[in-house]
Amino acid sequence: MIPQSFIQDLLGRVDIVDVIERHLTLKKGGANYFACCPFHGEKTPSFSISPSKQFYHCFGCGVHGNAIGFLMEYSGLSFVEAVTELARQVGVEVPQEANPSGRFAPPPAEQDALIDAMATAARFYREQLRHSPVAIDYLTRRGLTGEIAARFGIGYAPDDWQGLHKVFPAYDARPLLEAGLVIENEAGRRYDRFRDRIMFPIQDRRGRIIAFGGRVLDKGEPKYLNSPETPLFEKGRELYGLIQAQKPIRDAGYVLVVEGYMDVVSLAQFGVCNAVATLGTATTPHHIKALLRHTDRIVFCFDGDAAGRKAAWRALESSLEALRDDITLAFLFLPEQHDPDSFVRSEGADALERAAREAKPLAGFLIDALSAELDLGSAEGRSRLVHDARPLVTQVAAPLLRLQLVKQIGELSGLSQREVEEAFGTHTSTRRHDKRWDGDGDHAAHPARHTPQPSRSARSRRAPIPAAGTLLRLVLQHPAWIARLPIALIPLDSDEGRSLAALVDAMEVGDIDPDCGLGALVERYRDTPHADTIARAAADLVGTDYDETVIETLFEDTVKKLHADMINREILSLAQQEREHGLSSADRHRLAELLLEKRNLTDKPQD
């Protein structure tokens, strides 16, 4: 794990305005900066960035966060990637840690050498394409324009055993081998891995080229050749075209997952720019989690033949543990004579868009596939359905969707919901909790994405904030005041109260710097039960600070209210006890003390 002290120091070094201004056009308005929200369509800017609090909040859709959260939401980076990108921007080095596969990332200097080698090779391949009539003719026959080729950085690897020697005079340099650009035989002789192939650069979520995919011009084997896994590249985690598709995905409201590089670029040629492809491997849970950072709807597009349905089933199995109740995964099967490229050429982009909107949701595909070959009119067929569904349904992480599947299976099998749950071993006492964070330690997404907040007008009509909620917002505005909170008065029967208690505990052991900014304080509680509560309270402060001329009085009055509430609760408890069982002499004495304390608290003059 990255040390929390490093993260706090990093957030103290960066300016959230500078971070967001790299991606959005900002305008100054009072103490804050404003922009049109990148996470929902709007014409009037409601996306507010507070430089004093180092926090952003959209008054339209409710998304909010600090600099780390913005990069995760906007660029689709994982938590570690967002921290690394911020560290790069301010010129500091992230403490070395194992990557999600358990391997340690190479030292920065070695990693930079690999990245530079890939960038040099990409430039070489693009230049070679300009001088290869055969390769240009192939792309033209596939319907690609120079604009699309340039957008995706498409190139050509010449039919030369050591073509890269032209741009790498030190052809025996270590980075070429480690980056997978060359192969070294047993005799120690090197040669280019890619020869006479159309080259598709594969970029990471920061836009850096980390691998290549090469396609034969016409016939030949293998049809597609990918870079091997390297310190930069794990094919089970990367998606082709994601860097180009990020904004189109947000605009379209969904992502289309296809199977090949040419499908992605051909669709883009016809204006379908929200497509990505896996890299010669089945869809993995890591792919699903990466896509869910950009959208809440994923549509898998497969050929309608047996191979396409087999690939769809593998995608379904990989998705189950990443499911949430606020997302949709759907499956689009094209007519057997078509792939995505031929379908969009034949039927048009609008037809593909309609088909994607009408794609079969995961639950329907799952039930249909399980029951397709079964005789549900027989006891054996119905039993087989429950038997086959068990290992799949029990993996579904979304509790409400899992419940819907259980009910559907019960209806088809003639069993009650309880009977199906007992057969699955998921009856109430054994049902798994909803998973909020992914298994790698990466955050599945910023909490705000899954807990959208009400609009400004809706907030104006909501119920008054309780005392614990008011205190939470006050101490977030003035973290040093956490030390003044009387822990005995904090009610622990609400999210705000429990979050206040957590802040007090952290302050007492020195885990909170009283001078830290709001963004850093919120970050301290990422991946904890208090994350959403504290982030929502922080978002309320972006546009409406408490008036500094009255905030001290408000703090003291709110603490007094907590004291009065505690006294009232104890008085009511003793009064009920007296009605039901009577009071001991000690309890009567305590009740008298409380009544006197309440009278004194009420009569005490205000400052």
CB atoms within 10 A of CB 494: 16
Q: Is residue 547 part of a domain?
A: no
H or E segment to which residue 301 belongs = strand 297-302
* pLDDT for res 541: 85
**87 to each of 274, 425, 553, how far by Cα in Å?**
30, 46, 40
- 225 and 112 assigned to the same domain: yes
- 128 and 29 assigned to the same domain: no
Q: Among residues 478, 76, 100, which one has the least CA distance to residue 289?
A: 76
- 119 and 160 assigned to the same domain: yes
CB atoms within 10 A of CB 579: 9
- Residue numbers of the chain with a pLDDT score lower than 70: 1, 96-108, 427-464, 543, 545, 601-607
Two structure tokens written together for 298:
């994923």
**CB distance 264 to 241 below 8 Å:** yes
pTM of the entire predicted model: 0.64
Q: Which of 204, 234, 264 is the last residue of a domain?
A: 234
- 135 and 206 assigned to the same domain: yes
- 83 and 155 assigned to the same domain: no
Q: Give the whole-angstrom CA distance, residue 150 versus residue 139.
A: 12
Q: Give the whole-angstrom CA distance, residue 197 versus residue 158.
A: 7
Q: Is residue 182 part of a domain?
A: yes
- 24 and 64 assigned to the same domain: yes
Q: Give the whole-angstrom CA distance, residue 201 versus residue 98.
A: 26
- Taking the CA atoms of 298, 302, 304 and 307 in sequence, report the sign of the dihedral they define: negative
CATH of the domain at 83: 3.90.580.10
Using a 10 angstrom Cβ sphere, with 0-12 exposed, 13-18 middle and 19 or more buried, the burial of residue 450 is middle
CB atoms within 10 A of CB 78: 24
**CB distance 354 to 254 below 8 Å:** no
* pLDDT for res 161: 95
Task: State residue 72 phi and psi, 5-degree precision.
Answer: -65, -45
* pLDDT for res 607: 47
Q: Give the whole-angstrom CA distance, residue 207 versus residue 118.
A: 12
**Boundaries of domain holding 574:** 556-603
Q: Which of 430, 446, 462 is the last residue of a domain?
A: 430
Q: Among residues 325, 327, 351, 326, which one has the least CA distance to residue 338?
A: 351
Q: Give the whole-angstrom CA distance, residue 258 versus residue 86.
A: 32
Q: Report the amino acid identity of residue 179.
A: A
- 214 and 155 assigned to the same domain: yes
- Measured torsion, CA atoms of residues 573, 578, 583, 589, in degrees rounded to the nearest 10: 60
**CB distance 210 to 116 below 8 Å:** no
502, HSE (Cβ side, Cα atoms, 13 Å): 19
- 79 and 170 assigned to the same domain: no
**498 to each of 469, 473, 494, 507, 558, how far by Cα in Å?**
10, 14, 6, 14, 16
- 159 and 131 assigned to the same domain: yes
Total domains present in the chain: 4
Q: Report the amino acid identity of residue 401.
A: L
Q: Give the whole-angstrom CA distance, residue 22 versus residue 566.
A: 49
Two structure tokens written together for 98:
């194992």
**CB distance 61 to 40 below 8 Å:** yes
Q: Report the amino acid identity of residue 414.
A: G
Q: Give the whole-angstrom CA distance, residue 535 versus residue 350.
A: 40
Q: Give the whole-angstrom CA distance, residue 323 versus residue 289.
A: 9
C-alpha Rg value of the chain to the nearest Å: 29
Q: Is residue 65 part of a domain?
A: yes
Q: pLDDT tens digit string along 40-50?
A: 777 889 899 99
Using a 10 angstrom Cβ sphere, with 0-12 exposed, 13-18 middle and 19 or more buried, the burial of residue 359 is buried
Task: State residue 368 phi and psi, 5-degree precision.
Answer: -60, -45
* pLDDT for res 601: 67
Q: Is residue 21 part of a domain?
A: yes
Q: Among residues 392, 393, 391, 419, which one has the least CA distance to residue 404?
A: 393
Q: Is residue 133 part of a domain?
A: yes
Two structure tokens written together for 67:
């600099």
Q: Among residues 218, 231, 132, which one has the least CA distance to residue 175?
A: 231
**448 to each of 33, 362, 468, 534, how far by Cα in Å?**
20, 25, 21, 11
**CB distance 56 to 47 below 8 Å:** yes
Q: Report the amino acid identity of residue 476.
A: L
**CB distance 75 to 246 below 8 Å:** yes
Look-up of token digits 């240009």? 136
> How many helices (H) and strands (E) are present in the chain, helices listed first?
26, 16
CATH of the domain at 409: 1.20.50
**28 to each of 7, 49, 55, 223, how far by Cα in Å?**
28, 9, 15, 53
H or E segment to which residue 100 belongs = none
Q: Which of 234, 262, 294 is the last residue of a domain?
A: 234
Q: Is residue 363 part of a domain?
A: no
CATH of the domain at 148: 3.90.980.10
- 56 and 132 assigned to the same domain: no
445, HSE (Cβ side, Cα atoms, 13 Å): 26
CB atoms within 10 A of CB 20: 20
Q: Is residue 448 part of a domain?
A: no
- Percent of the chain as helix, strand, coil, to the nearest 5: 50, 10, 40
Q: Is residue 203 part of a domain?
A: yes
- 50 and 122 assigned to the same domain: no
- 56 and 117 assigned to the same domain: no
Q: What secondary structure does DSSP assign to 179-208, as a single string?
A: TTSEEE-TTS-EEES--SEEEEEEE-TTS-
